[in-house]
Amino acid sequence: MRDPDSEAGHGLKALEAGADAAGLRLDQWLAAALGPDFSRNRVQALIRQGAVTVNGATVNELKRKMAKGDRAEVVIPEPEPAEPRGEAIALDILYEDDELIVINKPAGLVVHPGAGNWTGTLVNALIHHCGDSLSGIGGVKRPGIVHRLDKDTSGVMVVAKTDRAHKSLSDAFADHGASGELERAYLALVWNIPARVTGIIDAPLGRAADRVRRAVVPAGRGDARHAVTHYTVLERYGETAADAVKAALVECRLETGRTHQIRVHMAHISHPVIGDPDYGQAFRTKANRLPEPLQGLVRGLSRQALHAGLLGFCHPTTGEPMRLTAPMPLDMAEIVEGFRRL
């Protein structure tokens, strides 16, 4: 149980094991006893750092079994400054409170710093915007990225500001919405018109030959990951036999969340996302048969026409259902309007 006199946040926390703790691993018991502000990963890191004592002795063993009456003390350090630096990058904020922030990510914005993109990322922007409201994810004052959008995919993203929110949202995304608490819908402009108004693409994904892209692979392959996408055709363009080019506006809903999932799955059924540089190359010349100004809009599209239009989840502290939407960005909207005028 938690000692009511222990401090919140950083400092020293003293706890005593009750009868229900008997036989539990130290890291398992501490994660539950410290509450939702502390993820199990963070508890394990504190144990490894020598920040935990049991009955006065420092314990580094995660699997140490607890007994009724054991007294533990945990030294919680202040969150360290985030390694990436904050940058004043404009954000389109859809919702924000003390626990989380939801943004409409523009196409072209990388989510997390990495090779070739150490600055100018969403994380840099969030560190600057959130400032001291970041209480620390895993002991570091940084935003908690629980899901990502490709650099050139726009739309709704939720980011945690506290360990408690990070753990709750991570769990929701980890089970891919199996609990019913997660809803993700994307708008995609695709080449050709699917034969069925609705469909399910159930095809495992793994690494392609170049190790950057993904591909549909046999289910028995070592890196194969279960992947399911549900699609619904919203609009059809160029339906008659005389039309040289056919396309469709499709809503895709994710049952799983794999890297490049929608892009690979739609290409797999011969409906690649328009503008996709990785999975739609074979369809690039289709734009040449479109009339102007639509041809120019499609050829000038510098990214895949894919937008995360809706994200639904339960708030990590209130449990309130949240449903955030972002309108179709201008580059996609102009192409849609051009197809409608065909």
Instruction: List the catalytic residues.
Output: 150
End-to-end CA distance of the chain: 68
Q: How far apart are CA 342 and CA 328, in angstroms?
A: 20
Task: Return the structure tokens found at 302.
Answer: 């510098």
Task: Return the structure tokens found at 141.
Answer: 């004052």
Pairing of strands 205-207, 198-202: unpaired
Task: Return the structure tokens found at 320.
Answer: 């309130």
Distances (CA, A) of 213 to 185, 187, 220, 264, 320: 22, 21, 19, 9, 37
Cα 143 to the chain's mean position, in Å? 12
**What residue ranges in 35-182 does DSSP mark as E strands?**
52-54, 57-58, 71-76, 80-81, 93-96, 100-105, 140-141, 144-145, 154-160
Q: How far apart are CA 194 and CA 191, in angstroms?
A: 9
